[in-house]
Every structure is written in C-alpha cells, then in structure tokens.
Structure 1
Amino acid sequence: MTLPDTARAVIIGGGVIGCSLAYHLTKLGWTDVVLLERKRLTSGTTWHAAGLIAQLRASANMTRLAKYSQELYGTLEDETGVATGFRRTGSITVALTAERHEELRRQAAMARAFGVEIDEIGLAEIVAKYPHLNTDGVRGGVYLPRDGQGDPANIALALARGARQRGARIAEGIRATGVDTQGDRVTHVHWQGEDGDTGTIACDHVINCAGMWGREVGAMLGTDVPLQACEHFYIVSEPIAGLSALPVLRVPDECAYYKEDAGKLMLGAFEPRAKPWAVEGIPASFEFDQLPEDFDHFEPILEQAVSRMPVLGEAGIHTFFNGPESFTPDNAYHMGLCPGRANVWVAAGFNSIGIQSAGGAGMALAEWMDTGEKPFDLGDVDIARAQGFQTNRTYLAERVSETLGLLYADHFPYRQKETARGLRRSPVHGQMAARGAVFGELAGWERANWIARPEGPRDYSFGWGRQPWFTNVAAEHAAIRTGVGLYDMSSFGKLRVEGRDAEALLNHVCGGDMSVPVGRIVYTQFLNSRGGIEADVTVTRLSETAYLVVTPAATLRADATWLRRHAGDRAVVVTDVTAAEAVLAVMGPRAREVLRACSSDDLSTEAFPFGTAREIELGMARIRAHRVSYVGELGWELYVSADMAAHVFEVLWQAGQGHGLVLCGLHAMDCCRAEKAFRHFGHDITCEDHVLEAGLGFAVKTAKPDFIGRDAVLARREAGLTRRLVQFLLSDPEPLVYHNEPILRDGEIVGHLTSGAYGHHLGGAVGLGYVPCPGETAEQLLASRYEIDVAGTRVAATASLKPLYDPKSLRMRG
C-alpha cells in the first residue's frame, strides 16, 4: 500500500478506538488522516470483546459518552452498509446482598439525574424478564431498557469504512517503528510494512490508540501511558433449545455477566484476583490470538454460574475463551493530550468497556483535537492524571490484578485499593502511623485519612451507611471546630514558578491578580477561554521572581502541564517541589496557642494577617507559615523542609499536649470544607463550570488587562447566570450523601450533587450542586422547596448560596 508522506493526523492502532477516532476526525473535515495497524483491524482485543453496550456510567459525562456510542451504533449500518449487530436488548443487574441492593438503588437515583431510563424491579419482574435465572438470594435489581449489545468487530469495521468514505487512509500490516521529535513535538512517524517496506510520514498530530500495546507505544512517543493486559475469561454454551432474546444480565456479587447470542449463552467474569499477562512485553506475532485455557482459575465462577443459571449446566460448554484486555491503575481509560508533548494524544486502556465507550471517546477526542480545548469535563479519563511511576511494570502487574475485579466489586464510598501500596510516603508518615493514622491512597501517596483510637477499630471498613470510623472523624471534626487539630497535607502538589516573567505568566493563566507584595497568598483559578475552571489553587509570592502554586495531589501533573503549555517564550521555569517540603496544618480556635508554645514569633492578626506567608522559628527549625484555611477556622499551613519535618512534628505534638491538640485525618478536613461550602476541584468545579456560576467571581480580577477567560467572564456578567452552585443541608440527620444524588426543586429533578460529606457541626449531610436558574434572582432561586434523592428516598434540604457555616468567614480571619 502506498502511504502519503504527510498527514494532519497519524493514528497508531486499528481497534475500535482508533477506527472511531478516524471516523470522527473525518466527520469534522480532517481528510488527511492516516491509521496504521500493525496486523489487521480489530486483531488485538476488539475482535473478542463481549460487545455489551450500557448507558449508565459513574459520572454524568461518562454517561454522556456511553449514550452517544449507543446512538451512533444504531445509525452506522445505514451510513456505511456494514452490519453492526447492534440491538437494544435491555440489561438487568441483580443484588444478592443488602449492600449491593443499596448500591443499585443509589445508581437508579443517579440514572434519573443523568436522564437515563431505569426501573427498579423486584423478583416477579426479574423472573418475567429472565425466566432462566435461579432467584435464590436475589433481593432485587434494576432494569435499563435501552442498554444493548453488538458485534464488536463489525462496529469497528463500520467505523473504519465511514472514515475511508471521507478520505482517511487505513493501512493494515504497517507498524509504527519510531518517531522524530523537535522540542515538544513529534514531527515524523516511521513505519515498516510486513513486506519489509519502510517509510516516514510528516505529521501535525500523532495519536496512540494501540490498546494493550499503549504503554510501549507511549514510551516510543516519549509519554507515560500506564496500562497492563490481563487475561479475561468467558465461556459460550452449546445451543440451548428455546433460548430466545434476553436482556444482558449482570450478577456482580458472583462476578458474572450473561449474554444471549444466537441461541447460546455467554458467561463472562471479572474475578476478584486477575492474572496479568505479558508483563515483559506482548509477542510480536500476536494477532487474533487466544491465550491458554485456565479452567482452575475460572472454575469458582463457573460453579456459581451453573447454580445461578441451571440451563447453562445442562447445555454444556461450546467454547472456553481466554483473551487479553488492557486495564489501568484506576479503572478509568486514558484520553487526551499527553503531558510533555504538544501534539501527542492517546485513547487507550479501556478496561473491558471499549465497545460501549469507543463512539463517545472518539467523538470527544476528535472535538478536543479540532478546537484545542476539551469539549466538556473529561477529568475522569484525562491522561494528565497519570503519574510517571505508574508505568513501572512491577507496579502495574500488582495493581491491575486487583482493578479488573473491582469492576464488579461493591463500589463503596471511600473504598481503598489494597495492592501496590506504600510507594509515596510523607516525611511524617512514621509519626502519623505510630499515633494510629489509617491511610488511604491518592496518586500513589499514602495519606492519613482518619485516626484510630486505642479502644476502637484500626482498619477501614466500607459500606453505604455509617462505618465504625464515622465517630473518629466526628471527633476530629469537633477538635478543628472547637479546639485545635493537626493534620498532614504533604501530598498536596507544590509547583515553584520562577523567573523574570513568572508574574506575567501567572497573571495570564490565573483569574486573580498576581501583582502582589512578597508574602501575599492569592486564592485563584486557572481559567480556559470559556471561563471554565482548569485548576483551583493558592499562589504565594515568595520573592520578586518566584511563586509557589499549591494544588491538589491528583491534579499536580495537569496543572504543571497547563502552566508550561502557556509559558510560550516567557523566561520562566516550572518545577515540581512537592517532595521537598512537608506540610503540617494546625487548625482550630486554639491553633495560635499551640504555635505560641513552640515559636517566639508574633502570630497576632495584626502582625500575621490572613492570606499572608512568612518564615518563622518553630522549635529548632525555620519554616514558612501560610495563614490560610481549607476548613474555615483560624490556622496555619506549615511548610517544612523534608529533612526537618519529623522534628517539627514532634515539637508541635509536644507543645499541643497542653492545649488539647488532636491528630486528624483528611476525611475530617473534607467534612469541614463541605460545611464551609469550599469547592472541591474535579467535583464541584471543572473545566466546563463557569467561574461565576461556581460562585467564585470574587477571585477573578477583570481589571487586569488580559488573561485567559477574561472575555468569557465579562460576557457572562453581562448576560447573567444560567445556573448557580448551591449548598444543601439535609433536614434528616441520618442519611449520608457522597455525590451524584439527584436534586429536586419543587418535586422535579433539576441536577445532582457534585460532592457530599457529613456536616458533623451542622448536624446533617451536606452537599453542593448546580441548580438551573436562567433569569432568576438569588431570592427566587432560594424560595423553592428542595429535596435530595438518597437511594430513592426524598429528603428535605435547606438550600443556601452562602456557606451555612460561618458565612462571613470571621473565624478563619480572626
């Protein structure tokens, strides 16, 4: 095949994802698109996928992408002439435990908020829709009538034909072998054909859609793409007499799913402990290959399945299939523009949901590439969340052995992964652990989330209701509100922005004014051109030419990438200094007393006002103290050189004994910030949430002559708000909220909670969520009757645009 010398986009990988991206790029008018497939289209994992196509996902935008996929597959055959086998069979998920039943009820409520048709069904309805099911132990279920299934390979081939019809070149038997780079751009892709021919394509963009080869292709392109193939098992029965069309059935408590196809029954599994495959590399000859059977590994699933579905045991097994699929460390796929590269993109690691995700993922990535901006919030899957260490083979093999099984595990709030732990530790990790800290993990960091008491539980438990450690968090919360608490914030990201143009860069990307005196702390957001929020940070001016940007641990890499991409030719360097300093937060009405017991510096409000930072002596160390608060109380964040952190912790702990100092975890911090209505980035505020509608207009200084998003802020101020972020307090103190619970206004669903926690001081669950209000005043918005749907039960709620706790922020400024 003759390939062009130049292309606007070179796609590497011809599975369903690569074909979808080619289809959607050409639909946007990109005619010079080249797709390189090392063997044959679909020959990696697409060809043996189960082809289940569900609508409901864990967030509103992931659901949006899944719904788009369904709609697309329903029209592809008419457009391309390739039969996709798509049909809406519906799907049923059943619960065998009270905890799973609660999860399904919460999912049903979430689906209603997302506009997905769903019915909660009892045993009679389950049997009517799936008469072959043994209902022993079944407590109930949910039915999604618009879910479906399709032919995975033909869906990919239909997308490929659609792309070809609009000018894309799709080359099979062509392997990408290397690239040329200039600065942060890939300029050329080298290829080799099966016949030995070689060539080079100059390109504007290159996209890694290599599936389970994504890690290796990512390395070739100079990027980190953490994913690992695992063995994935299913069996297909012999033909079953009288077996007609059935909904897809999921029995997650038995790790199983069932699909009827052509009078046969397929049983697939997501077993609790998976088998990583080809950790050292995938064989070069791999094409439409099947892995060796491992009946012993699959047998426990099959034994339960034969009991649950007796016709399966009677029919016999026609096919036992074992094939590889790629999984990521957090069970979310990778998509977007890769950090460190200006024109390298990725869409890979789809965790067994590639078919249902491919249409939407291809659409969203194509729009992102076409406009240069995310079409909507894609933070769940943005490759910028990936950490460099996560491409480590040992880490991946250990972590994905767990993540495959988590697809069908109970999706409890606060659930922590058990594998690949202990990698990143705070300098005071040992001191925290010795005093009872119970750790969770985020971005590889071990973070003290709550503190065990000698007489109480010392390990996490998980569930939808109050857990034994609920009272621990309540006590820590009370200490912060009424006394003083100490917690470790060392995992939060720290970026040093330095150079003669540091002020100019930060004024360009931040909504706030960075032209402030040395020692001033500015709370601000990075905005995009639409006024959406790309980052939520504090910026401290350290000197005339240096600033410190503090950001959440999970978004550190994305925020550093944003700064570097907008630096242009400015004389500025962005350096990750997270590991250089520990951060200890001393918060509460008695915080000043504790610090005065171990520091001779003047900590009065007059000498050390809120929103400032300066060096102080503490014990035998010199540290930098920042007077800020994410909990709404008087307090300081203490930035300590990592080598002195243990000393400073010990001094604070000893000094605090006479003042009631309580060691706290980050769960208490989150509960406090929810009471104070402080926003949580990635939940309450994202790139598609306008900064004014998020209630953060106070942090934007439009008097500055130019910054990203300024025009969008001015335009929205002129046009008025179409929605507002509202705080809710449930009137009943018993229910718990987490996020995605529907918001009802005068009996109608108008949105969902973006985040939730328990307001121990306020005496009930607290959540934030957006409420549409075009043309309304604040008074009109708040005059309505509000309820929150918690697992199908409507609970009355108080709504407020001001923080329900200390609305004037007098406590933290005192």
Structure 2
Amino acid sequence: MTPPSKARVVIIGGGVIGCSVAYHLVKQGWTDVVLLERKQLTSGTTWHAAGLIAQLRATENMTRLAKYSQELYGKLEAETEVATGFRRCGSITVALTEERKEEIYRQASMARAFGVEVEEISPSEVKSRYEYLNTDGVVAGVYLPLDGQGDPANIALALAKGARMGGAKVMERVKVTGLQKAGQRVTGVEWQSADGTGVIECDHVVNCGGMWGHELGRMAGVNVPLHACEHFYIVTDNVSGLPHMPVLRVPDECAYYKEDAGKILLGAFEPNAKPWAMNGIPEDFEFDQLPEDFDHFEPILEAAVNRLPILAEVGIHTFFNGPESFTPDDAYHLGLAPEMDNVWVAAGFNSIGIQSAGGAGMALAEWMNTGEKPFDLGDVDISRMQPFQGNRTYLYERSKETLGLLYADHFPYRQKATARGIRRSPLHEHLKASGAVFGEFAGWERANWFADEGQEREYRYTWKRQNWFENSKREHMTIRENVGIYDMSSFGKIRIEGPDAEPFLNYVAGGDYSVPVGKIVYTQLLNKQGGIEADVTVTRLSETVYLVVTPAATRLADETWLRRHVGDYRVVITDVTSGEAVLAVMGPNSRKLLEAVSPNDFTNATNPFGTAQDIEIGMGLARAHRVTYVGELGWELYVSSDMAAHVFETLQEAGQELGAKLCGLHMMDSCRIEKGFRHFGHDITCEDHILEAGLGFAVKRDKPDFIGREAVLRKREEGLQRRLVQFRLKDPEPLLYHAEPILRNGEVVGFLSSGNYGHTLGSAMGLGYVPCPGESPDQLLSSSFEIEVAGVRCEAEASLKPFYDPKSERVKV
C-alpha cells in the first residue's frame, strides 16, 4: 500500500505511543490520519518493554493519565479482539531502610489524595502476598491492589487495529527521510519505501519516534532532548507451580520482579547506566538486542538471588539487553513544539511507556483537536526543555544518571549529579568563594544555601531536616530581621517592544499596562478558561518597551505563548535573559544598604512599591525594581552582565557594617510560603482559575478585551467552586513538601500544591485547594483541618489571608 499524497496528520513512529495517538485522534473524529513506521510496529522499544502498568505517579494529572491507560487497556481487547494480556495483579513496593519507608508511606498518603487504592503493609503481610520473598531487612511495604501488567506489543497492536477501524492508515516499512517546511510549519513529509519515494502534504506532524525522536526533532527544527540507554533484565526458566503474583519492586536494590507466563522476570534500574548509540542508531535496527554485559548486571543479580532465593534454583532462560530512551529530567515529552506551529511530540517515556501511552495519547489528541491542553501537562510539556538540553554531549552525560534515578531515593531537594555547570550567573565564582552550595534548575547553577566555614559544601539527603536546615533558617531570619542579598540572575527576561507593545500586552495578559514608565505590574497570562499560563511581572521601560520577567524554567514556554498570540500587533519579542544579572536586596534594612552605595532616592515618595528607577550604584549603573517574593521591603537590581561583579562587590563590602548576609534560594521559598505567595507550576497552573487562586486583584476586568475575560466574568457570576488555602501545622516537628492530603472534618478533600518550613512562624506550612462551592470564607475556615504526613494526620490552622504580615505592611514601609 502506497502512502496517500495528503493527510490531516502524519504520525511518525509505530511504537505504543504512536499507535495510541492514532487511536485517539480517530476517536476525536479525525479521518485523514496516517502513521508511518520505518520497520515493523513495536520494533524499537515497545516489543521488549516489561509491561508494568502502575497507577500512581508523582502528580495528580500524571496519575490521572496512568489510570486512564489502565482503564483503556482493560476494554481494548473487547473492542479490537486483540489480546492485550492486561490483568490487575497488584503491586508491592518494599523498603529496606527507614528513609525509604518514609518515602513509600508519603507516596501512600499521596495515593489517597489522588484517589488511588493503597494499603501500607508490614513485612509479614508482604510475605503473605509474595511467598518467594526473603523479608530479611524489609521494614515496610505498600500494596496497590489495582496495579497491573500487560503484553506491551499486543497493547500497541490493539491500539493500531483500533486506529485502523476508525479509518487511520497504519503503514509499515515506510521511512521518513525529510520534512518540507514553510516558515513555522511543516507542509510535507518525505518518505521512502521498497515501492519508491513520495511526499505527504499534511496539516500536522507528530513525532512519536522514541529513541529516534531526537533525530526526527532536528529534521523538523525542533528540540527533543532524549538519549538511549541500555536496559537489562533476565527471564528465568519455568518455575513449577508459580502462581500469579503482584509486581514486586525493591528500589533499594534497584530491582523489580514480574511473573511472566510461569517465569520470573527480573529487571534493573542500576545507578550508573550505559548510554547507547552516541553516534546514531544503526540503520538496520529492528527488534534488535544489544550485547550482553553480565559484569554490569551482576551486582543486581547477586542482591536479587538473596532477595528471591528461588532464583538460585532455576536457570536463566533469557538475558536481555535492549535500548530505551531517557530524558534529562525523567519526564516524557508531550505537546506542541515551541519552535513550530504544527509539530507535536510524544516521545521519551523513560521505561514507563506502556503505563503512560494510553493517557498520553488521549491528552495529546484532545490538545490537537481543540488547540488547548485538556488539563495541566506542565510536568511533561515539551516547552519545559531548554534549548541547550538538545546538546548530544549533555544528553550522553545526563543519561548515565537518569535511568537509575527511577529507583533512587526520591529525597526532597535532590540535585542531579551529572552534566552540571552549564549555565552560570556572572556572580557564580563570587558566590562560590563565599560558601555557596549550588543546585541546578533549568540548567542554571543557583546558590541554594551557604555553608559555614569548615562545613561540608554538599547535600546530606533525608526526609527529615537536612544538613542545611539551620543554615537556611539563619538566612531566612536575616531577611526577616535585617538585610540579605541573593542572586536571581536565572530569571527569564523577555523584552517586548514596538508601537503596539501596550495594546498587545493589554490583550494577552490580565493586568493593566497603560501605566507610566517605570511602573511594575504583577500579572498573569490567562487562557480562555481563566487558567494561569504564566505568572510574571511586566515593567514599562519606555513608551514602546516593556520587560517581562518570568521564572527560569518557564522562560521558553512564556515566550512561546506570547509569540503565538502576536497576530497583527506590531511588536518584537526578544529573549534578553543573559544580558542582565539580578541581585535581590531584601529585608527591613535593605533601604539603608542601598542608600550606602547609591546617591539615588529610595523613599516611598520617589520609588514606591511596584516601581522601577535607573540608579547609580558604586561606580556602575543598574535598574532598581521595588518588588518582593519574600514579603519584606526590598529591591531587585537589574545590572548589565559586565557590571554585575562590581555591583556585587560594592554591596557585599557596604553590607558588612549592617551585618548583611548572603542568602540562597531555599530561603526564598521558605519566606514566600509564610507570605502565601503562589509558586507557578505548583500552586497555580493552566487549569487553576485565577479567581480561585486568590489572584483576582491582578486582573483588570474593565478592560474591553483580553484573553480569559469572559471566563473571569463568568466565574464572578457563578461563584467559586474551590479556594486556595494556606495551612500551618500546629506541631512544629513534621515537614511538608507537596501532595500531602488535606482533610476537612476528617475527610480527604485535596492535597497540598506546595509546602515548606516557616521559620518565622515555627512550623511547616503549605498551600492547597479546598472545594467549597457556595460557601462563604467563614464557613470554610470554621472547619477542622488536618494534613496527612506519611500516614499520620497532623492538625493544621487554615487561612485565606497570609499568616505572615496579612496586610503587607512590611513591604511598603
């Protein structure tokens, strides 16, 4: 069969995700769907996947997608008459350390918040459910009865058949050789097969290329950061009388076990992985295995023989080594590529492709059909990837670590160890010399805390108070009581200029930008549902120029959103992030420090809160923005990169008399949680309505036309269905991070979107949404609230106003 000359969409790649996208597009009513597979369906990674299908993921929406996959696979066989092998066998995860026990118990609490059935079980209960397990050293387990497993290849083939039944053309042995482009769109897909060559004109292209996804992305001018790694497992000979058993995970030994047609499959996620195909995947790769490396696998097997003694009694039927692709952050890539207007990506599934493919295909198909995300997909949205992350050397180095991180301890604040030092502030060496301990964020090396003299400059991870807890507390109190200095150069900085800059911003964002030069507007970019696409500040630099300041990780996504809404507005949008460093000077004595180094006037009369002014500082120049994310009097100083070191040295020297202290970004997060400031991506996302997030003050409803206006007005008429509430634990000991269940009058009603420790207030704090349709604030707050931490319910106070400085008097003194 020859490919057609035209199609609405061409899907490239016939693994489980490509088949899922095709299946779900025809369910959306798309008819001209073409899927091209270079060899045979499933011949890349899908055919040798383990087929574990778990429900619980790290966030609510990722869990929603995994649960959808399960439900789909459960009914797919009846629809297509292709056996998927899906069955709910349950899963058990065991802990061999107290730290891992806390992790899996926290995960169990999170599961309850997400509506996943879960049970904490003792070692003896683990043994009763998995008789072959040696429970020596097992301290606890968690059982999810509705987890399952399936036949990966047949699931993909069932999806492909379902797509064909809906009219899609699924074509094997047709290789994509090139893409024809016009501006920001792909207009044609060039192909080659045994029957010849040709071009398919198309409206959309979907990159489902798996480990070929990076190469396909480059063909389209799109960045798809992923790299293949070797992935090992063994399958035993038949075990006489082997019953159906749950999937067993022993993450402390980097191992998982699955009953497989009367055999036991043992798979590994070893801490030091082996990247593969640095110079490209062989042209003839099809259902291929990689060379055995028993020495590499031996430490896993040795621990496994102790954990499942039966492995010493049965032979090894298969030693398998096959490639799978991994992304820099272990989250897959989904969505519309930032560089193009009709190139979509669904690739890089990090060994969870089978459990993710159903939901990911559904979400992408809905997004393609409506033009808007069906719900928050920020965890996996391809626009989160930074351009440099497509660098091959970077991917090679990072992939050595990311495979093993799937089963490593998921400690809070855990930092990546590989591929570091790529993006550095102009102040990096100054901070390093002063004791900074760096974390990595969107490739930036950022000072997270400062070590004392003689203290080790590294993280010691635990679920309790980590080794930097007291350091960060002192930095926190410096901000609250005196003055602190910290580096925010990683801020994304987007310059918008042109004769239509003002009307453009008034259309694309919720605030009012018809303001004097020097005015700073805190604002959100909204979607049509009133959800929050970005949380930014906008500063008017001149009549025709504005500066949009964004979080480091969302700079590309925010810039892309702005560009896609330019329309006929006469504006130029430029990323100027690297042009300016940013030094924050915050605290009650911040004005004194600035007055010591600058002749400019920092009083309320000249420089009130929410305004910027050009200043002299030392022998240099800067722009002082009077804003705060820590809830204190303070300024962000924007300094050209060439003068940043001088300004830093000037501030540091002058600050000695005041007792100023260098601070890290852990401090910033603990200060903002006390003040109830929202964190984008956690507390506010594209599916969180701006009014329910408590940010209605930032929206100017009387503007005649802006994206989301109708949704804002409608919500005001209908009333809020839920509210973002701040919580403070009454017990000072427990720690909060995120996703801990919120209980109202004894019933789980939600979960924390973010959490941290409030050092000024003396206990852990968090933010989270609570359903309250038709209720007044007093009705809501009259309830009894608890937060569940690792299975333990902790009493909590609740407030709709910030616990710290509720009237914001401190920032305006």
TM-score range (shorter-chain normalised) is over 0.9
Question: CA–CA distance in 2 between the matches of 1:468 and 1:320?
Answer: 42
Preserved CA contact (<8 Å) 2:525 2:534: yes
Letter matched to residue 311 of structure 2: L
Amino acid at match of 2:422: L
* Residue aligning to 1:85: 85
Shift of 1:459: 1.2
What displacement does 1:4 show?
1.4
Equivalent position of 1:629 in the other structure: 628
The letter of the residue matching 1:10 is V
**Whole-Å separation in 2 of the counterparts to 1:374 and 1:273:** 36
In structure 2, the partner of 1:97 is 97
Structure 1 stretches lacking a partner, 5+ long: none
Q: Partner residue of 1:674? A: 673
| Residue type of the alignment partner of 1:396 | L
In structure 2, what is the equivalent of residue 106 of structure 1?
Answer: 106
* Range moving further from structure 2, 174-183 or 723-732: 174-183
For 1:524, the equivalent position in structure 2 comes to 523
- SS at 1:481 equivalent: helix
Distance apart, 1:457 and its partner CA: 3.4
Instruction: Give the CA deviation at 1:802.
Output: 0.4
Deviations 1:120-172 (A, max 9, x none): 00012111100000011000100000000000000000000000001000110
Q: Secondary structure at the match of 1:678?
A: coil
Residue 2 of structure 1 and its aligned partner are, at CA, apart by 2.1
Report the equivalent of 1:604: 603
- SS of residue paired to 2:199: strand
Equivalent residue for 1:732?
Answer: 731
Cα deviation 1:158-202 (Å, max 9, x = unaligned): 000000001000110001111111111111111111x15111111
Cα distance in 1, alignment partners of residues 386 and 733 from structure 2: 38
Aligned to 1:63: 63
Structure 1 contact 457–469 (Cα < 8 Å) conserved: no
For the 8 Å contact 1:589–1:634, the answer to whether it is kept is: yes
SS of residue in 1 equivalent to 2:313 = helix
Deviation at 1:455, TM superposition (A): 4.0
What is the rounded CA distance, in whole Å, between the counterparts of 1:81 and 1:134 in structure 2?
40
Which residue does 2:490 correspond to in 1? 491
Instruction: Report the Cα distance in structure 1 between the residues aligned to 2:643 and 2:621, rounded to whole angstroms.
Output: 9
Structure-2 residue corresponding to 1:147? 147
State the Cα distance separating 1:569 from its structure 2 match.
2.4
Is 1:162 aligned with 2:151?
A: no
2:525 match: secondary structure? strand
Asked if residue 557 in structure 1 is aligned to residue 552 in structure 2, the reply is no
CA RMSD of aligned residues (A): 0.6
- Equivalence for 1:438: 437
- The question of 1:658 aligning with 2:640 is answered no
Give how far 1:60 is off.
0.2
**Residue 802 (structure 1) aligns with:** 801
1:257 correspondence with 2:266 = no
CA drift of 1:497 comes to 0.7
Q: Structure 2 counterpart of 1:39, which letter?
A: K
Partner residue, 2:76: 76
1:387 alignment counterpart: 386
Aligned mates of 1:238, 1:65 — CA distance in 2: 35
* In structure 1, C-alpha distance between the alignment counterparts of 2:272 and 2:3, rounded to whole Å: 44
Contact map agreement 1:279 1:397 (CA 8 A) in 2: yes
Residue 403 of structure 1 aligns with which residue? 402
Q: CA separation in 2, counterparts of 1:565 and 1:634?
A: 36
CA apart distance, 1:753: 0.1
Q: Any idea what the Cα deviations from partners look like across 1:3-29, whole Å, max 9, x if unmatched?
A: 211111100000000000000000010
**8 A Cα contact 1:68 1:359, kept in partner:** yes
Residue 349 (structure 2) aligns with: 350
Q: Map Cα deviations across residues 274-315 of structure 1 (whole Å, 9 max, x no partner).
A: 000001110010000000000000000000001110111110
Alpha-carbon separation, structure 1, partners of 2:6 and 2:44:
27
| Other structure's SS at 1:543 match | coil
Distance 2:501 2:313 in 1: 72
Distance 1:572 1:198 in 2: 42
What's the secondary structure of 2:609's corresponding residue?
Answer: coil
Query: In the TM superposition, what is the alpha-carbon distance from 1:622 to its structure 2 partner?
Result: 1.1
Aligned to 2:124: 124
1:428-471 C-alpha deviation (Å, 9 max, x unpaired): 00100000000000110000000101143321111100012100
Partner of 2:11: 11
Partner SS for 2:296: helix
CA distance in 1, matches of 2:461, 2:23: 43
TM-score by length of 1: 1.00
Q: Distance in 2 between matches of 1:607 and 1:701?
A: 25
Residue type of the partner of 1:31? T
What is the aligned partner in structure 1 of residue 315 from structure 2? 316
Partner of 1:40: 40
Identity of aligned residues (%): 73
Measure the CA separation in 2 of the matches of 1:804 and 1:189: 57
8 Å contact 1:584–1:639 — kept in the other structure?
yes
Which one-letter code corresponds to 2:412 in the other structure?
A: P
What residue identity is the alignment partner of 1:706? D
Alpha-carbon separation, structure 2, partners of 1:164 and 1:751:
40
> What is the CA deviation profile of residues 246-272 of structure 1, one whole-angstrom value per residue up to 9, with x for unaligned ones?
000000000000000111000000000
Q: What's the CA shift string for 1:322-344, capped at 9, x where partnerless?
A: 00000000000000000021100
Counterpart-to-counterpart distance in 2, 1:662 and 1:465: 26
Q: Distance in 1 between matches of 2:22 and 2:445?
A: 40
Query: Are the equivalent residues in 1 in contact too, given 2:92–2:247 (CA < 8 A)?
Result: yes
Instruction: Name whichever of 401-410 and 2-11 sits farther off.
Output: 2-11
Deviations for 1:524-548, whole angstroms, at most 9, x for unmatched residues? Answer: 0000000000000000000111100
The CA distance in 1 between the partners of 2:188 and 2:467, in whole Å, is 58
User: What stretches of structure 2 of length at least 5 have no aligned partner?
Assistant: none
What is aligned with 1:373? Answer: 372
Aligned partner of 1:156: which letter? A
Aligned length: 813
Q: Distance in 2 between matches of 1:675 and 1:107?
A: 25
Q: Is the 8 A contact 1:280 1:393 kept in 2?
A: no
The C-alpha deviation readout for 1:210-232, integer Å capped at 9, x for no partner, is 00000000000110000000000
Conserved in 2, the CA contact under 8 Å of 1:214 and 1:225? yes
Call closer, same or farther: CA 1:280–1:196 in 2, change over 3 Å. farther
Q: Deviations over 1:578-604 (max 9, x none)?
A: 110000000000001111111111111
CA-to-partner distance for each residue in 1:393-418, whole Å, 9 max, x for gaps?
Answer: 11001001000000000000000000
Alignment partners' CA distance in 2, 1:504 and 1:250: 56
Look up the match of 1:233.
Answer: 232
Q: Any conservation in 2 of the 1:457–1:468 contact (CA below 8 Å)?
A: no
Q: d(CA) in 2 for partners of 1:628 and 1:531?
A: 25
Matched with 2:51 is: 51
Q: Partners in 1 of 2:172 and 2:669 — Cα distance?
A: 51
Question: How many angstroms does 1:643 deviate by?
Answer: 0.4
Q: Which residue of structure 1 aligns with residue 332 of structure 2?
A: 333
Partner SS for 2:110: helix
8 Å CA contact 1:737, 1:790 repeated in 2: yes
Kept in 1: contact 2:2–2:195 (CA 8 A): no
- Correspondence for 1:476: 475
Partners of 1:328 and 1:360 in 2: CA distance: 19
CA distance in 2, matches of 1:429, 1:505: 36
State the match for 2:279 in structure 1.
280
- CA–CA distance in 1 between the matches of 2:261 and 2:639? 66
Partner amino acid, structure 2, of 1:13: G
Counterpart Cα distance in 2 of 1:320 and 1:505: 60
Give the SS at the match of 1:315.
Answer: coil
- In the other structure, the counterpart of 1:643 is 642
* Alpha-carbon contact 2:61-2:377 (below 8 Å) kept: yes
1:483-533 Cα shifts (integer Å, max 9, x gaps): 000000000100001111111221111100111111000000000000000
State the TM-score, normalizing by the size of structure 2. Answer: 1.00
CA distance in 1, matches of 2:756, 2:311: 44
Residue aligning to 1:134: 134
Partner amino acid, structure 2, of 1:160 = A
